Amino acid sequence: DGGITQSPKYLFRKEGQNVTLSCEQNLNHDAMYWYRQDPGQGLRLIYYSQIVNDFQKGDIAEGYSVSREKKESFPLTVTSAQKNPTAFYLCASSRTGRLDQPQHFGDGTRLSIL
Amino acid sequence: QQQVKQSPQSLIVQKGGISIINCAYENTAFDYFPWYQQFPGKGPALLIAIRPDVSEKKEGRFTISFNKSAKQFSLHIMDSQPGDSATYFCAASTYAGNNRKLIWGLGTSLAVNP
């Protein structure tokens, strides 16, 4: 079955530590996205990539970094510079970067601070 | 100019009733309006979407009504079922120019009582 796989489902970060969230898709989609979801705040865009080896900052990119070395993979690193990382992180993909196409989401990674 | 305002924040409906969720926007350049459904612990999934050249779109029990002059659109769930209990997000986007992101509402938590 085609889809988006996010791992791990739960992740704990220590103070001063960088952590990396995995996102893999087998839908052959060009575009991929990372969102952060906090209670009552909806979805906020962190980074997006419309093509391999290219990515753009979203609304809340500070304290995060990404790479897009392969079409299937779009990992997100939460750096120690992100002072409030506790949230539900969602990865999505769409066939192209056109926003009138459905975004397909993974089941998320819940990040907490130890 | 970039906001999408969604209401109500939460909604309780009896089984068989009609659930209505409303969204309003300001940017007249928006030209694609999707609704996403999210179950607890899962990522959102596209439910239904509309463009402003039509005033209504129906898919099964789900209908989007669009009022271009009022800059409002709404989701109607007919014959609401307990399985519809989820969080619903409206969004808006334009695929013209440099604005390459969805603007999300803050979500409506729907509970359908059996």
Three-state secondary structure readout of chain B: CCCEEEECCEEEEECCCCEEEEEEECCCCCCEEEEEEECCCCCCEEEEEECCCCCEEEECCEEEEEECCCCEEEEEECCCCHHHCEEEEEEEECCCCCCCCCEECCCEEEEEEC
- Please check the confidence at residue B1 and state whether its pLDDT lies above 70: no
Residues of B (74-113) whose Cβ lies below 8 Å from A: 89, 93-95, 100-102, 104-107
Interface test with A, best of B23, B36, B37, B100 (most A CBs within 10 A): B100
Contacts of A42 in chain B (CB under 8 A): 89, 104-107
d(CA A89, CA A111): 7
Q: What is the pLDDT of residues B50-102, one digit of tens each?
A: 998 999 999 999 999 999 999 999 999 999 999 999 999 999 987 655 556 78
Query: What pLDDT does residue A15 have?
Result: 83
Average of per-residue pLDDT across A74-96: 93
Which residues are bridge partners to A113 per DSSP?
A13
Q: What is the pLDDT of residues A18-60, one digit of tens each?
A: 999 999 999 999 999 999 999 888 899 999 999 999 999 998 9
The whole-angstrom distance between B18's CA and the closest CA on chain A is 24
Average of per-residue pLDDT across A56-79: 96
CB B91 within 8 A of CB B103: yes
Q: Across all residues in chain A, what is the average pLDDT?
A: 92
Query: What pLDDT does residue B2 have?
Result: 59
Contacts of B31 in chain A (CB under 8 A): 100
Question: What pLDDT band is residue A62 in, cutting at 50, 70 and 90?
Answer: very high
How are beta strands A43-51 and A54-57 bridged, if at all? antiparallel
Q: If you search the block for the tokens 């009609």, which residue do you land on?
A: B18
Query: What pLDDT does residue A78 have?
Result: 95
d(CA B114, CA A36): 32
Question: What pLDDT band is residue A66 in, cutting at 50, 70 and 90?
Answer: very high
B100 with A48: Cβ contact below 8 A = yes
Contacts of B106 in chain A (CB under 8 A): 40-42
- Please check the confidence at residue B12 and state whether its pLDDT lies above 60: yes
Q: What is the pLDDT of residues B32-54, one digit of tens each?
A: 999 999 999 999 999 999 998 99
For residue B92, what are the contacts with CB-CB under 8 A and spacing of at least 6?
B4, B23, B25, B27, B30, B32, B33, B102, B103
Q: If you search the block for the tokens 């089984």, which residue do you land on?
A: B15
**What CA–CA distances, in Å, run from A46 to B35, B69, B77?**
20, 32, 31
